Amino acid sequence: MYIDTHLHLCNRWCDDIRRPKAIADIDKNKIVTWAQSWDIPSYMKALEYSKESKYVFPAFGVLPWEAFDYKDRFDEIAKLCEDALMLGEIGWDERNAQDKRSLPYQKPMLEMFLEAAEKHNLIMNLHFRGGLERDGFELLKSYDSKKAIIHAYSGPPEMIKEINDQGFYISYGSSRFDRITPGSQYYNYYKNRVQEVHEDRLINEIYVLEKSNFRPPSKVFPSLLQKVAEFRNTTPEEIEAMNQRNVLRLIGDDPKLEEMRIL
């Protein structure tokens, strides 16, 4: 069984034509999928999508770029965290924020999510970018929660051991992974990071489904596993088994995720 811990099904990344095809494919092929959100409306949509397939599990999050719009709604966010199965996508990313008004509110909003994760024992999907990988990691360490996935970690490869030693997971994958070939711009970038992640802490994700070259999740995952296996000098079967083991360890005995555990 494939397990995708990070997929955006909301309109920003997946339109009304592709989404029904993706969800039907997820359901037919029994792909456990963690549907990430990026604000409250997209979370409401993710809740709706989860009713279309028992394999879709919604996560609640507000991306750091949206922090300005939510600066006066932290109480509302905290309340939604109480009932959420998981948190995601959340994080800290000043470089890629088009709305620079979000900058002073990104860290406070992240701290609020980290407090909620600690209080409610929630899995988190975290986005740290733009030179804030170290700052985000240090902030994450200051909270009593180990159920964290750093999505598509982009910091120095030498920091990966520190992240894993803290018990945190790192996820890699993309619908474009099969196009990362030796000699291409990002080949060594990904290889140097993917091969550094400890086998007990590596998790896979699709992230987004391409618009111009749409393939459903069941077609993306085999090529994704093949590329991760290539980076780690092993087999796709071993990468898939590794992903399943690590996800099951991460969800543990969380009562909110019992339905996922028994699939």
The pLDDT, as a whole number, for residue 11 is 76
**Three-state SS at 150:** strand
One DSSP character per residue, 179-248 reads: G--TTSTTHHHHHHHHTTS-TTTEEE--B---STT---HHHHHHHHHHHHHHHHTS-HHHHHHHHHHHHH
Nearest Cα neighbor of 27 from 46, 5, 50 is: 50
Total domains, the chain: 1
Backbone dihedral angles phi then psi of residue 170, each to the nearest 5 degrees = -130, 135
Query: Is the pTM here over 0.95, yes or no?
Result: yes
Identify residue 235 by its one-letter amino acid code.
T
- Whether the CB-CB separation of 64 and 96 falls below 8 Å is answered with no
- Whether the CB-CB separation of 148 and 116 falls below 8 Å is answered with no
Domain holding 245, by residue range, is 4-261
pLDDT per residue of the chain (263 residues) written in tens, 0 to 9: 899 999 999 977 888 899 999 999 999 999 999 999 999 999 999 999 999 999 999 999 999 999 999 999 999 999 999 999 999 999 999 999 999 999 999 999 999 999 999 999 999 999 999 999 999 999 999 999 989 999 999 999 999 999 999 999 999 999 999 999 999 989 999 999 999 999 999 999 999 999 888 999 999 999 999 999 999 999 999 999 999 999 999 999 999 999 999 98
The torsion of the CA quartet 68, 70, 73, 77, rounded to 10 degrees, works out to -140
Tokens of 145: 């929660």
The pLDDT, as a whole number, for residue 176 is 92
Task: Give me the sign of the Cα torsion angle 40, 45, 49, 54.
Answer: positive
Nearest Cα neighbor of 113 from 142, 144, 74 is: 74
The pLDDT, as a whole number, for residue 48 is 98
- Whether the CB-CB separation of 160 and 193 falls below 8 Å is answered with yes
Provide the CATH number for the domain around residue 205.
Answer: 3.20.20.140
The pLDDT, as a whole number, for residue 212 is 85
